[in-house]
Structures are given as C-alpha cells and as structure tokens.
Amino acid sequence: IFILGGGVPASYADPPSYVKSRCDAAAQVFIRCGQLLAKKGGTKEDQIPAILTLSAGTAHMPQLLSSDGLPIWESTASAAYLMDQ
C-alpha cells in the first residue's frame, strides 16, 4: 500500500490532515487484510500487504527540521503517525 505524502508536517508524527486521512485508510486496509487472513488461517507473512510512505519535501516550502537540525521528511511523519495509531 503506497501512501502519498504532501505538505510540510507540523511535527515529527503530525502530517497534514489530508495525509492523515490517507494513512488512516491504509491502516484500515492493513487491519482488514489481517482480519480476513485470521479467518482463513493463512500465514501473516504471505498475505498482509506492506505499507510504504512516500514523499520527502518540496523546494517551494521550508523543510521541517528536528532539534538536531536534520530534515523531518514527509514520509517519516506519515510513518510515525501510523506507528502511533
């Protein structure tokens, strides 16, 4: 499952609301696949899709920086948001 980024995150795990919606939808698909797999008795590794967050930033907006001065990529914020859910 590919989650497209877009927009500068407000913080490390806080992507824009429209990206959060994409993350939430991907999480629902991921969870539903796990539920269906459990009903069938299949193996988790063979059936559940992977989630890949995309996007690094834009040249048109300043990049959010961490406390140590490193960029917080849009994809990192999306992945952290998913992990927190």
Residue-wise pLDDT for 68-80, tens only, equals 999 999 999 999 9
**Rounded mean pLDDT of the chain?**
90
State pTM to two decimals.
0.86
Q: CA-to-CA distance for 17 and 14, rounded, in angstroms? A: 8
pLDDT tier, 45 (very low <50, low <70, confident <90, very high otherwise) = low
Label residue 41 left, alpha or beta by phi (over 0 means left) and psi (-120 to 50 means alpha): left
- Tell me the average pLDDT across 42-51: 75
CA atoms within 13 A on the CB side of 37: 14
Looking at per-residue pLDDT, the higher value among 49 and 15 belongs to 15
Whether residue 43 is predicted with pLDDT greater than 70 in this model: the reply is no
